[in-house]
Amino acid sequence: MTTTVRIDQHQLFIDGEFRPAGSGAQFETVNPADGTLITTVARAGEQDVDEAVRSARDARRKWRNATPTDRGRLLLAIAAQLRAESEALALIECLDNGKPISQARFDIEYSARYFEYYGGLADKLDGYVIPLGSDYHSYTTLEPFGVVALITPWNAPLMQAARGLAPALATGNTCVVKPAEDTPLTILEFARIARECGIPAGVINVIPGFGEDAGAALVRHPLVDRIAFTGSVETGRIIARMAADRLAPVSVELGGKSANIVFEDVDVDVAAFNALRAINLNCGQNCSAGSRLLVHSSIHDAVLDSMVALERGLTVGPGLEDPDVGPLTTRDQYQRVCDYLRIGREEGAEAISGGSALVDERLNGGNFVQPTIFAGVTPQMRIAREEIFGPVLCVLPFDDDDEAVAIANDTDFGLVAGIWTNDFSRVHRVSAALEVGQVYINEYFAGGVETPFGGVKDSGYGREKGLAALEHYTRMKTMVARV
Ligand code: ADP
């Protein structure tokens, strides 16, 4: 591989400066495609977290009092600079996270879109007037919380951070970001870009480090006014509990086991192609992955045949080669997916494609598994109920709409669902009955930064993206005057 990737930022970003951890501690970040060390990064401890939060706190008045137009312009400048540096950022993301370079490029563009979208909204946040008769004047304003803590996962590192940063900053909050310890690199480059664009010191702080120390210290910090978490259900519960101790508002966007429902009136090959895309994008490491494919029994076998043929043509390899499927991002995740492949077989499901780790000398040391399709899956199997977070598709047949909805809802999760049909009455009926935060109709992953996103049930609560996110990052104040 001849591509060289420049990595300049390895330190904490606190109060507008890059600096080592107070303790001098560092941790390693590893290339998931071959297991080699990419670089070492400063590891934030409690003292560093405290300094980052205090810096954000000190910066908050000036930032909230800046004109919304100025805040918006700064965000738009960041969007432009992300685009100007998109190739370099995509290469770093590809190396650190493992995703295919074209998907990394997509993530950087999506990150830029967040800053563009919320930059444009910064000066359009009105309150309203409440009519109480001529003796009173009452109106509302939307205020920032103050210091927002963003704890982000490793599956789309910059994009996940941008999703919280852009609306939080647009509405006048200052931020402390704790990226996942597995993928700290792009968000540090982002901090450099934000500083070059003129973001004042303290408005954005980035503290790479581990969850149990840096993450927990951030959640517990008394000067953090709001918390947004994206990650696993288990950690989401821990964070929500810690936040509850001091009544800090928190939103948690967690896992999924989303049903992608294919009705009998659609083109089999189109359904098959899209079902694979819904599970294999980012190597299945999407909370919204279409991991349960529900297919009407009349086309079940035809869809399976088509998927098996398509999956045979998929390329798997290092992200820099831009394959269809890259490595899993972490060694733990690789182990976890391998465990589920074994569990699926033990439960009696049939791997009609893939089914094990990828054995290929060229890919030694990397976290590669075969994209897998399990047929003969029943709703009670663990592989049908638990989030695998890998390129592992479970196929379940159904006979009518009611059964499809029943299977789709028979899960602890409730993030998204997909529907494939040309019957629009059915679209509305089924969408209404699905217990999820959003429904993709005739295109999985449809939508963009504009469309609200979040879960029900164990998939969490709160809505990110779109106008809905503004409610996350502002609180309403009501004034009532006797006149
Ligand atoms: P995974 O298990 O897949 O790594 P997590 O949900 O644990 O996913 O991680 C998501 C983010 O939460 C990461 O930034 C991680 O460091 C952070 N995190 C993990 N545990 C804690 C914790 N106890 N408190 C705060 N943050 C945490």
Tokens of 362: 């060229």
Rounded to two decimals, the pTM is: 0.97
CA of 211 to the centre of ligand 1 (A): 5
Cα separation, 97 vs 40, whole angstroms: 15
Structure confidence at residue 308 as a pLDDT band (50, 70, 90): very high
pLDDT for residue 6: 87
Q: Is 178 in the pocket of ligand 1 (CB under 6 A)?
A: yes
Count other Cβ atoms within 10 Å, centred on residue 450: 10
pLDDT at 2: 56
Structure confidence at residue 344 (pLDDT): 98
Stretch 305-330: mean pLDDT: 98
Residue 270: φ, ψ to 5°:
-65, -45
For residue 219, which atom of ligand 1 is closest to its CA? 25
HSE-CB of 20 using CA atoms within 13 angstroms: 7
Whole-number Cα distances in Å, 270 to 186, 306, 310: 35, 9, 11
| Residue 133 in this model has a pLDDT that exceeds 70 | yes
d(CA 94, CA 82): 16
Query: Mutation test of ligand 1: which of 41, 96, 151 has the most ligand atoms closer than 8 Å to its C-beta?
Result: 151
Nearest-CA residue for ligand 1 atom 3 is 232
For 46-93, write each residue's pLDDT tens digit.
999 999 999 999 999 999 999 999 999 999 999 999 999 999 999 999
Of 282, 319, 316, 7, the closest CA to residue 155 belongs to 282
In the sheet with 416-420, reading across from the earlier edge strand, the strands are 350-353, 372-375, 392-398, 292-296, 259-262, 416-420, 438-441
Substitution site in 152, 176, 186, 235 for ligand 1 pocket (most atoms within 8 Å of beta carbon)? 235
Q: Dig out the tokens for 6 from the structure.
A: 């420049």
Please write the tens of the pLDDT for every residue from 384-426: 999 999 999 999 999 999 999 999 999 999 999 999 999 999 9
Q: Render pLDDT for 335-390 as a digit per residue (tens, 0 to 9).
A: 999 999 999 999 999 999 999 999 899 999 999 999 999 999 999 999 999 999 99
What would the pLDDT profile of 161-193 be if each residue is shown by its tens digit? 999 999 999 999 999 999 999 999 999 999 999
- Which pLDDT band, with edges at 50, 70 and 90, does 5 fall under? confident
| pLDDT tens, position by position, 274-292 | 999 999 999 999 999 999 9
Q: Rounded to a whole number, what is the distance in angstroms from the first to the last CA of the chain? A: 74
Number of the ligand 1 atom closest to the C-alpha atom of 180 = 14
Query: Per-residue pLDDT averaged across 290-311, rounded?
Result: 98
Alpha carbon nearest to ligand 1 atom 27, residue: 211
Kindly indicate the confidence band of residue 459, based on its pLDDT and cuts at 50, 70 and 90. Answer: very high
CB of 332 within 6 A of ligand 1: the answer is: no
* CB atoms closer than 10 angstroms to residue 285: 24
For ligand 1, atom 13, name the residue with the nearest CA. Answer: 180
User: Per-residue DSSP letters for 392-410?
Assistant: EEEEEEESSHHHHHHHHHS
- Alpha carbons 444 and 84: distance in angstroms, whole number: 29
Ligand 1 contact via 231 beta carbon (within 6 Å): yes
Q: Using the predicted structure, report yes or no on whether residue 94 has a pLDDT greater than 80.
A: yes
Per-residue pLDDT reduced to its tens digit, 434-449: 999 999 999 999 999 9
Tell me what the pLDDT averaged over the chain comes to.
97
**Is any atom of ligand 1 closer than 6 Å to the C-beta of 235?**
yes
**Alpha carbon distance 467, 121 (integer Å):** 9
| pLDDT number for residue 188 | 98
pLDDT at 1 > cutoff 70: no
For 268-295, the three-class secondary structure string (H helix, E strand, C coil) is HHHHHHHHHHHHHHHHHCCCCCCCEEEE
